[in-house]
Chains A and B, each alone.
Chain A
């Protein structure tokens, strides 16, 4: 069945460091891929998404490219800020409403 494997955290970085959170998936067909972010006390928020191979999703300085050949959707940001501290979830969906999630990766950015 469909599944998402996400790098385990927690991840601690200094401000302005480069961030990569790895995500790979297993799926039938051609799902859409997502990154969600959850800030403390808030709901999951859509960070970015890609709907087909080679698409790049981007938002707030974060990027991820849908790589069909490696079944990956790694999240990257060139220079993290303290305000990026949150839990990040990689997910896939065929319909856009039901999701398969990874375990989530907790990121803490220290000044």
Chain B
């Protein structure tokens, strides 16, 4: 298998602040990573596709100015939730594509905005 590490595992922040979540592929390079989120009692939903060295592609209904994605290296993608509000409280999980074909997932980040 392969290892994808996500940090932090959980975070509590105040409303109006920004939070950065990191997704690292530890033992392989990933030109493509994906960000998902899960609201309570709902499915994990794809938010965006992160491509190294280029702009992320966002799914319909996801605000790109609110969820900033940076994929500056082949082993790191970051998701920044800007001006977070309680409705952004969710479970965020990333996956990294190994060899362009197989996806490996991080452990997820539980974000609570108070």
Contact = CB atoms under 8 A, between A and B. Distances in A.
Interface of A: 3-4, 8, 36, 38, 41-45, 89, 96-104
Interface in B87-114: 93, 95, 97, 100-108
Helix, strand, loop or mixed for chain A's interface? Answer: loop
Given A4-B43, A44-B93, A101 B36 contact: yes
Nearest to B102: A96
Nearest to B42: A103
Interface residues of B, number: 27
Contact of A103 (B6, B36, B41): B41
Contacts of B81: none
A98 B49 contact: yes
B34 A98 contact: yes
